[in-house]
């Protein structure tokens, strides 16, 4: 008789756009599962990936590789701003981006705006907010980020959009031109912005749509890339934007070299290299500009 564990019959399946390709993982232990007002929340353990967090059947994070995503989303804009004191994260209820922002000692105030308070509560217990939830610099707001950001003008040094996919939960509100323009208005004159903008294989249409809209809202908008093994295709894009700061010309590698906190993916070389795009992505984005 085969040596099966008590939960070897339980598997998680994620279907990528088109539902012809996907990802599967063994559920070793179910940690948390509920349907909130906005979405289904599942947290479970996998023998190889550790704790897995999913919303509406779409993988958000795994312990094994979440740092690759969160470090690239956060540290690219954080190191480009000359002195980021006030930061806004929209989405990101798992707390990974919050943890990375708070590694920067010059941050005086961080607002995490997550629409689903149940995600926040689960994250405080099982995910990455658990390690930073008592940091006095952190304020958590449970509101629709697309509406929340409209309350501010010339307020934040850095805005980071850590959203779900446009088709998942409330994520679609965070991919509109109106929203990106509101983010521009909420930034200080030398403020910087970053957003996750999907993968260029299964969801290239989403990348093109978000980049086009961000480009209309900001004078400077440049796509950069990184590897997130558990995400569709493993190749992930982000878009940096600002009112004038250039992510290569204005980058100071010495700031990264002198950083005294642990980084496992991002470094000064990765920063520069991430803006070098594959030909098929580069040519498509250049056509959109024209």
Residues noted as catalytic = 162
Rg (CA), the chain: 18
CA dihedral 253, 255, 257, 258 (to 10 degrees): 160
Residue 28 Cα distances to 25, 54, 124, 227, angstroms: 9, 15, 21, 26
Taking the C-alpha atoms of residue 52 and residue 45, their distance in angstroms, rounded to an integer, is 6
Count of CA atoms in the C-beta half-sphere (13 A) of 197: 29
Distance from first CA to last CA of the chain, Å, rounded? 64
Please write down the HEC assignment for all residues of 193-261. Answer: EEEECCCCCCCHHHHHHHHHHHHHHCCEEEEEEEECCCCCCCEEEEEEEECCCCCCCCCCHHHHHCCCC
Nearest in space to 205 (alpha carbons), one of 180, 237, 183: 237
| 290, containing H or E segment | none
Residues 89, 158: Cα–Cα separation, whole Å: 8
| Distant-in-sequence, close-in-space partners of 265: CB < 8 Å, separation ≥ 6 | 67, 68, 71, 72, 226
């Amino acid at each position: 008789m085969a040596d099966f564990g008590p939960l070897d019959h339980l598997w998680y399946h994620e279907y990528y756009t088109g539902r012809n390709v996907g990802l599967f993982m063994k559920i070793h232990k179910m940690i948390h599962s509920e349907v909130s007002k906005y979405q289904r929340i599942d947290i479970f353990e996998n023998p190889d990936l550790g704790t897995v967090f999913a919303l509406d059947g779409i993988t958000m994070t795994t312990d094994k590789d979440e740092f690759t995503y969160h470090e690239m989303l956060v540290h690219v804009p954080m190191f480009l701003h000359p002195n980021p004191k006030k930061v806004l994260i929209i989405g990101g209820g798992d707390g990974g981006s919050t943890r990375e922002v708070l590694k920067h000692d010059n941050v005086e105030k961080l607002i995490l705006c997550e629409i689903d308070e149940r995600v926040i509560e689960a994250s405080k217990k099982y995910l990455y907010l658990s390690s930073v939830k008592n940091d006095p610099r952190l304020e958590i707001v449970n509101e629709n980020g697309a509406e929340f950001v409209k309350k501010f003008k010339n307020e934040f040094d850095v805005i980071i959009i850590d959203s779900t996919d446009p088709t998942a939960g409330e994520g679609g509100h965070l991919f509109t031109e109106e929203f990106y323009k509101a983010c521009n208005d909420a930034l200080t004159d030398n403020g910087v912005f970053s957003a996750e903008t999907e993968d260029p294989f299964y969801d290239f249409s989403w990348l093109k749509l978000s980049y086009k809209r961000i480009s209309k809202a900001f004078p400077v908008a440049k796509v950069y890339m990184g590897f997130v093994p558990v995400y569709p295709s493993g190749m992930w894009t982000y878009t940096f934007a600002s009112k004038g700061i250039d992510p290569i010309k204005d980058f100071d590698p010495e700031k990264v070299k002198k950083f005294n906190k642990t980084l496992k993916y991002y470094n000064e070389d990765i920063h520069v290299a991430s803006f070098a795009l594959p030909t098929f992505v580069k040519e498509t984005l250049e056509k959109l500009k024209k």
